[in-house]
Amino acid sequence: MSVIVPALIVLATVVAMEGVAWASHKYVMHGFGWAWHRDHHEPHDRMLEKNDRFALVGAGLSIAMFALGSPLVMGEGAWWPGTWIGLGVLVYGVIYTLVHDGLVHQRYFKWVPKRGYARRLVQAHKLHHATVGKEGGVSFGFVFARDPARLKTELKRQREAGLATLRDSAGR
């Protein structure tokens, strides 16, 4: 088999995972999974958060896809795309860890971007954290960020409609 097809599967999976991450962030983490996600939105000095459990869910998905694609695990019933989908999920997890936890929340390194897409990502996610509680909010993706000016407009609309409570200038 050509290397092109597996590479396209990996790439398509990485792109699709941003959609999966957006939906799970908006509807699971800010829904029934709030008990795990809440501490991510609150100040703390712990190295780990309950929210980090979601990374284990992603790792489980990746491992399951690797297993589905493995003849060692599945025998003749192995589904060859599973390996490449599992690799795409893994690559997205690495990107998420470096971009979201590393760059945006500075858990692993300190760098505040002054311009470009990295700055836009940081601004968009700071706007995500501008709300109090799980209701309302903007910017649920982790790698693709909308224009911060549009996100501010959306937050203002949510606040005026009573759909979101914004943090005050002290971050409360």
> Token digits for 88?
């795409």
State whether residue 78 is helix, strand or coil: coil
Which token pair is 129? 């954290």
Window from 13-27, 51-65, 131-145 with minimum mean pLDDT: 131-145
The tens digit of pLDDT for each residue in 51-101 reads 999 999 999 999 999 999 999 899 998 999 999 999 999 999 999 999 999
| Residue at 42: amino acid letter | E
- Local structure of 117: helix, strand or coil: helix
Give the mean pLDDT of the chain: 93
Does residue 172 surpass a pLDDT of 70?
Answer: no
- 172 DSSP 8-state letter: -
Q: At 167, is the pLDDT very low, low, confident or very high (cuts 50, 70, 90)?
A: confident
Angle between helices 116-128 and 148-160 (to 10 degrees): 10
